[in-house]
Amino acid sequence: MADYDLAVIGGGLNGVSIARDAAGRGLRVILLEQGDLGAAASQASPRLIHGDLQVLERRALLRVRAALKERDIWLRTAPHLVRPMRFVIPAHSDGRQPWVLRSWLLLYDRLASRPRLPASATIDITHHPVGNALKRPIGTAFEYSDCVVDDSRLVVLTAVDAAERGAEIRTGARCVRADRADIWRLAVIDRGHRRVVTARALANASGAWTASVAETVLRMKPPDVDAVQISQIVVRRLFETDSVYVFQNSDRRLIFASPYARDFTLIGTVGHAFMGDPAAVSMAAADVGYLCDAANRYFRERVEPDDVIKTVSGANLVPGPARGRAARDGAMAFDGARGKAPLLTIFGGDVTTARLRAERAVARLSPFYPMSPRWTAYTPLPGGDFTWERFDDEVDTAVARWRFLGEPQARRLVAAYGSRLAAILGDARDRADLGPDFGPDLTGAEVRHLMTREWARFPDDILWRRSKLGLTMPPADRDRLAAFMAAKGS
């Protein structure tokens, strides 16, 4: 008798999505993550929930339609994390012809499975607020609807939901050997202690480590993959509107400039082949310059490399040339050899289609286990039991209940925890009831919640993944946070 029905190696978005789906279907699940949840490629995603216009340009209409359907599902199931926004593409003289852009967007509107968001439109930016930040003589732009997502929170809350449905989530747990017979026998170094875990099936969802895990841990032929690096930059806020700018670069790539963590702008992405240790990905100076140049083609206010506050990079795998599949789909392989415990291998793909990939992956195990039907398309993530149209109402409710909260603080907290905000603030009557302050936004009550309910172990887990407060927290407060967490974790 195995300890678990399914063991998952990897705590990125693919791994936690599989754990959530499987646990919700009644399987006994353990997830093993060697570091922190979402600490690699998941935190370096473009933060977009979209159909992807560049995929549409390649005439992959079915892929775009499937992604737009997933966009609607995310809006319904994660309204605190996924926010509809208007995306603006300025027409540029050496870019795609305006009629081509307009045709794209009309087709994009038609492909949306449920047109709940405003349709695309042509705007004169000389008389529109989105034009205030842009250079002249750009006069025409095209506007359409898509969504942005807090990618790191999406990973963590997916893991929270998996745990609430019975999955065991182990961070700081590295699988060092896996032996396959009629069950899997895994040797795990779990926060310094060696343990053995047995499971009836195994999912290798270790992201950029997928090939190395296959070769060194599973001792199998690694999948046919290429490694890619994606990078973005964070600068001070460059515009006042809540729109996302989509810039046509000179090499025909689309570059996104998005509002980020209230006072900043995220610009990206740039991608290229990657070789090296996925745990030590850094952004090259040439890539920083590339994104600065792309922004400077459009924005009035120049962006120089010295203005970059933070770079965000991650490595991921895409199917190798022999597989001939789109990168956004990722790849999945299933090995259910007779007499051998099943093995799922899943890697790559974008944020938008992660839920669907996990659903399809777990469905491959249905011949081996009795399990309940598919369910994740209809069930909210923790805190997401309201409609996205009521997000501002949730913020107003929070301000009315906890009067010591300012509107910006309430908005950040609702965006992170949704309707579960009371689990942190409880019956607090003033900020002093929440324990020590770490800067203007973080309290001891939130830190304790993140440590006890969301697997945060170190300051960076909180400052860069479960929030983006590392952008504004002074060094002295970081030191106090580290001491507080060390005392609570001891």
List, for residues 294-311, the tens digit of each pLDDT value. 999 999 999 999 999 999
Q: What is the overall mean pLDDT for the chain?
A: 93
Q: Is the pLDDT of residue 376 over 60?
A: yes
Task: Give mean pLDDT, residues 243-260.
Answer: 93
Place 321 in a pLDDT band, splitting at 50, 70 and 90.
low
Beta bridge partners of 180: 184
pLDDT computed for residue 224 by the predictor: 85
Place 387 in a pLDDT band, splitting at 50, 70 and 90.
very high
More confident residue, 328 or 436: 436
More confident residue, 42 or 312: 312
Task: Give mean pLDDT, residues 60-83.
Answer: 95
Task: Give mean pLDDT, residues 417-423.
Answer: 97
Task: Give mean pLDDT, residues 39-45.
Answer: 85
pLDDT computed for residue 114 by the predictor: 63
pLDDT computed for residue 336 by the predictor: 87
- For residues 75 and 389, what is the distance between their CA atoms, to the nearest angstrom? 10
- For residues 370 and 152, what is the distance between their CA atoms, to the nearest angstrom? 32
3-state secondary structure the chain: CCCEEEEEECCCHHHHHHHHHHHHCCCCEEEEECCCCCCCHHHHCCCEECCCHHHHHCCCHHHHHHHHHHHHHHHHHCCCCEEEEEEEEECCCCCCCHHHHHHHHHHHHHHCCCCCCCCCEEEEHHHCHHHCCECCCCCEEEEEEEEEECHHHHHHHHHHHHHHCCCEEEECEEEEEEEECCCEEEEEEECCEEEEEEEEEEEECCHHHHHHHHHHHCCCCCCCEEEEEEEEEEEECCCCCCCEEEEECCCCCEEEEEEECCCEEEEEEEEEECCCCHHHCCCCHHHHHHHHHHHHCCECCCCCHHHCCEEEEEEEEEECCCCCCCHHHCEEEEECCCCCCCEEEEECCCCCCHHHHHHHHHHCCCCCCCCCCCCCCCCCCCCCCCCHHHHHHHHHHHHHHCCCCCHHHHHHHHHHHHHHCHHHHCCCCCHHHHCCEECCCEEHHHHHHHHHHCCCCCHHHHHHHHCCHHHCCCHHHHHHHHHHHHHHHC
pLDDT computed for residue 57 by the predictor: 86
pLDDT digits (tens, 9 = 90+) for 99-154: 999 999 999 999 986 667 999 999 998 889 999 999 877 788 999 999 999 999 99
Q: Is the pLDDT of residue 292 over 80?
A: yes
Residues 126, 139: contact at Cβ < 8 Å? yes
Task: Give mean pLDDT, residues 397-419.
Answer: 97
pLDDT digits (tens, 9 = 90+) for 273-290: 998 899 889 999 999 999
Place 323 in a pLDDT band, splitting at 50, 70 and 90.
very low
